Amino acid sequence: MRAYVEVDLAAIQENVRTFAQSSEVLAVVKADAYGHGLVPVAKAALAGGASWLGVALLEEALALRAAGVSAPVIAWLTPSGEDFVSALQSQIDLSVSSPELLSEIIAIGKILGIKPRIHLEVDTGMHRGGVLNQWSDLITALVDHKDEYHLVGFWTHFARADEPHESYTELQLAEFDAKLALAHAAGLAPEIIHCANSAAAINYPSAHRQMIRLGIAMYGLSPDRLTMGSSADLGLKPAMSIYAKLQLVKDVRAGDAIGYGGVGIATNDTRIGIVVMGYADGLPRSSDSRAGVYVNGKRAPLIGRISMDQCVVDLGADSSAQAGDYVALISPDGYSADDWASAANTINYEIVTRIATRVPRKYC
């Protein structure tokens, strides 16, 4: 096997268990569980104490049902025309943020003789998902059809909860409470109030309500290392490690140019290793020498541009690494997802979610 991702399911269980001690947990397993593997991670999260699962796409929710997962599941990014027949038949909760979508889902429910389970999403200031200008119309529609659906949840999403001293989250929370009060005044009684993502679950205990939505923290990664500290600072255990083989090891001289464009220059006589992973496998092409691999107890930084299927690392002149050896791109002792994120000027979310499916996942 040229390369593989190793996922520590016990770490995922441990991370979930930490939060489940004080709050009901919805485990966010969208985007193939942030690249870790949808079904294995969903089952591990439930074993760790999560009571709900959340996905963005309806097909992800249906895949969970096909795998025999019976826990409550919500899909929240479901535009008009989706397969709501399968959703209702599979007892998948749906997020609603417009009168039009509500009408479509209710109509399908009538045909099937199934009362849809819905969560009302309100836009409290992120200005992405959720009802905003159609609030009054949606409330009217909900009241008019109150016997034709089951209002399970009422929720929103925070834009800046990873900034602990930013007042915007408190403003969003106040707006959320105001909208909830209006819903109650209209006779609507959602069962579960949820608004806290991983960052808010850590920074804003007042936002926990009935349930938190645990995303990046479940995978052992900090929502933002700069503003909130590292995984270790937060008591989280990263679940993903990545390993790949060296295809070739060879010596180069000081001044030799390496890779496309010749932008990588050996500063000393050294030994380089060609690693069989590249940007087609999900490594960001923009990554610089702040990332690399861990081999024989040492860090070997990237040198030159990442290619489609391979990258080059500076092993050091005295390295004993050989072709065929496995090296660690992400591991507990070596480079982290945060290191790779810094090297590519991005965030750890992107690093783990972009690892391609052609890199097999192994579970431990």
**Catalytic site positions:** 30, 260
Q: Tell me if 349 sits within 8 A of 216, measured CB to CB.
A: yes
Q: How far apart are CA 20 and CA 57, in angstroms?
A: 25
Q: How far apart are CA 54 and CA 212, in angstroms?
A: 11
Q: How far apart are CA 354 and CA 35, in angstroms?
A: 7
Q: Tell me if 2 sits within 8 A of 243, measured CB to CB.
A: no
Distances from the Cα of 162 to the Cα of 174, 229, 326, angstroms? 18, 10, 35
Q: How far apart are CA 93 and CA 150, in angstroms?
A: 10
Q: How far apart are CA 176 and CA 209, in angstroms?
A: 12
Residues 6+ apart with CB under 8 A from 318: 271
264-265 and 257-258 as β-strands: parallel, antiparallel, unpaired?
A: antiparallel
The total number of residues shown for the chain amounts to 364
Q: How far apart are CA 361 and CA 340, in angstroms?
A: 19
Q: Tell me if 131 sits within 8 A of 180, measured CB to CB.
A: no
DSSP state of 168: H
**The CA-based dihedral angle spanning residues 162, 345, 348, 173, taken in that order and rounded to the nearest 10 degrees:** 20
Q: Tell me if 229 sits within 8 A of 44, measured CB to CB.
A: no
Q: How far apart are CA 3 and CA 261, in angstroms?
A: 26
